[in-house]
Structure 1
């Protein structure tokens, strides 16, 4: 099964190999859903955002589906739960665009997933995520963003959520975070790749909407010093034309636990 990939770094801030750091925006969950994402406009040009949205839709959604689906999307939008509906309406307002297009944009990943299930001849690359531990117990956590949309390269952003005037942190420790991420109901299947600050604190959580399908932790005592997650359940073989898992495993095994660090992790995730 194909799911979205979400990488979470809990309590550990690591430098990344880049020429510049992405901008940071503070999002208050106390704000009205239609207003809370306004800070994005301070760091991104509206015209560029509109261009990015149009490119993703044009390369993901067949034109005939796009046109025929708009009336249906507008009907479905009325049944979307809060706060999602309000946030989508707000983003559409900021972009000055079509509300239906913003709704469709939120389903772009699911549409591409349907394509994968129906035809393995056109497998999207999307993301590869890795959590690994070196011999000294340091946990490294990385992900590449290999979406087939070059326009997205300049749209990476750090988001800091606030509630009641404080950063939004509820988990007491790594294990508590894993349990919360595993059990809280969500609207679609996803892979959470989670890294902590202590030895052994790394896991891939494969989620269904109502709970965990699988929790795959680091297991260094038995050779499991790293975990690689692409867009397919790790216990199943990937599609024949998707070699990302194989390439990452090969690179990490060649590097070895003795030599894993930020630089070698970067090389492994970009091979």
Structure 2
């Protein structure tokens, strides 16, 4: 938490500006967004050899992946005063790390590197990055008829290149063209669907139609993912990478309860919040929860029935603690959910909540909207018009 606060203060001083006055709004006319904001869909065939599964995706998105990695490298060298040591380490250590990764993920990353012409180390680094900088808002909500919806904003790019001239985060701007919807199929049938950044093989947002929905939010904690990564490189490999765990859950779990057990009990490299929605909505069987994870064990499992009764909401702070005063998306989100009421729970109503500042901010790359029973899944690129706070 101290690390986050120091970084926020640093951004403010470097940009020579003050934190904008707190702006809370609850919009009611954001849906539907412009058609130009709709996220394209790709099919990934899990029956193909792992190295071939992403070929068509990264052929389309290769230039964007290269641009983003160049920005990452530029940011690193700027922070460390022009030193190439870290960039060289990424290039050299990445292939060695890839050799230690479980299949099919190692081969999928090798295939992406081969198609794009990028170094394998860069692709491995690209797939690690999302474990450390994902700042989000996730909501599971039940409408009056008992249908469960699961929505999220994915905010990414905090501290990664604030553009003073345009009031934007450079990495966030580069990520939006890389957002894709992925239909993972076997035998021509959908296994699950996800929202991915092209080139990333893990899962941050996904639905297994008729069974469950899942989003992941980063948890800021002293045992952060960088510690787990260093331990992995040093040969201590008892934990799973978060994105691989969530991918395994989406492929292998056949129920909400099975997914819940996997997410609670699997040791990981980084702490996280897992927001899980199911398809049952009656009494003690109501299926919606936030799993607060340390690397080795579950810290807390917060069920929707005890949270609110008709919805549960998570940003990036333990629900029993107050959020950081500079980053309180939780209070405005609750306010907008209260204004909407349970009667308003729908794709439209929840998209309006996600589009209300500061839930919507300069870091927001996309909004995802899921309804588990019907298998409905849609995603839209998000842009926050001025005046808009950076985070």
SS at match of 1:144: strand
Aligned 8 A contact 1:70 1:100 in 2: no
The correspondence for 2:141, drawn from 122, 132, 135, is 132
How far the C-alpha of 1:61 sits from its partner, in A, is 7.1
SS at match of 1:228: strand
Q: Name which of structure 1's ranges 138-147 and 205-214 shifts more when overlaid on structure 2.
A: 205-214
Q: Distance in 2 between matches of 1:61 and 1:248?
A: 37
* Cα shift readout 1:166-217 (whole Å, capped 9, x = no counterpart): 6545434322322233234444332222222332222222233444322222
Indicate how the Cα distance of structure 1 residues 32 and 208 shifts in structure 2: closer, same or farther if over 3 A, else same.
Answer: farther
Q: Distance in 2 between matches of 1:103 and 1:254?
A: 43
Aligned 8 A contact 1:57 1:108 in 2: no
Indicate how the Cα distance of structure 1 residues 237 and 111 shifts in structure 2: closer, same or farther if over 3 A, else same.
Answer: same
Indicate how the Cα distance of structure 1 residues 26 and 207 shifts in structure 2: closer, same or farther if over 3 A, else same.
Answer: farther
How far the C-alpha of 1:70 sits from its partner, in A, is 3.1
- TM-score in terms of structure 1 length: 0.74
- The corresponding residue for 1:213 is 299
- The corresponding residue for 1:22 is 39
- The corresponding residue for 2:206 is none
1:54 matched to 2:37: no
How far the C-alpha of 1:255 sits from its partner, in A, is 1.8
- The corresponding residue for 2:179 is 156
- The corresponding residue for 1:75 is 93
Q: Name which of structure 1's ranges 21-30 and 256-265 shifts more when overlaid on structure 2.
A: 21-30
Q: Name which of structure 1's ranges 73-82 and 59-68 shifts more when overlaid on structure 2.
A: 59-68
Aligned 8 A contact 1:25 1:159 in 2: yes
Which structure's relative contact order is higher, taking Cα pairs within 8 Å and 6+ residues apart?
Answer: 1
1:142 matched to 2:151: yes
5+ residue gaps, structure 2: 3-30, 158-171, 192-250, 357-391
1:37 matched to 2:123: no
How far the C-alpha of 1:263 sits from its partner, in A, is 1.6
Aligned length: 244
- TM-score in terms of structure 2 length: 0.54
Aligned 8 A contact 2:337 2:353 in 1: yes
Q: Distance in 2 between matches of 1:61 and 1:230?
A: 31
* Cα shift readout 1:50-89 (whole Å, capped 9, x = no counterpart): 2233335545775538721134332364143233433333
How far the C-alpha of 1:137 sits from its partner, in A, is 1.6
SS at match of 2:123: helix
Q: CA-atom RMSD, angstroms?
A: 3.1
Q: Distance in 2 between matches of 1:164 and 1:213?
A: 39
The correspondence for 1:202, drawn from 257, 281, 288, is 288
How far the C-alpha of 1:91 sits from its partner, in A, is 2.1
Q: Distance in 2 between matches of 1:62 and 1:231?
A: 27
Aligned 8 A contact 2:148 2:279 in 1: yes
- The corresponding residue for 1:91 is 112
1:257 matched to 2:342: yes
Aligned 8 A contact 1:56 1:108 in 2: no
SS at match of 2:52: coil
SS at match of 2:80: helix
Indicate how the Cα distance of structure 1 residues 206 and 256 shifts in structure 2: closer, same or farther if over 3 A, else same.
Answer: same
SS at match of 2:325: coil
5+ residue gaps, structure 1: 3-15, 113-124
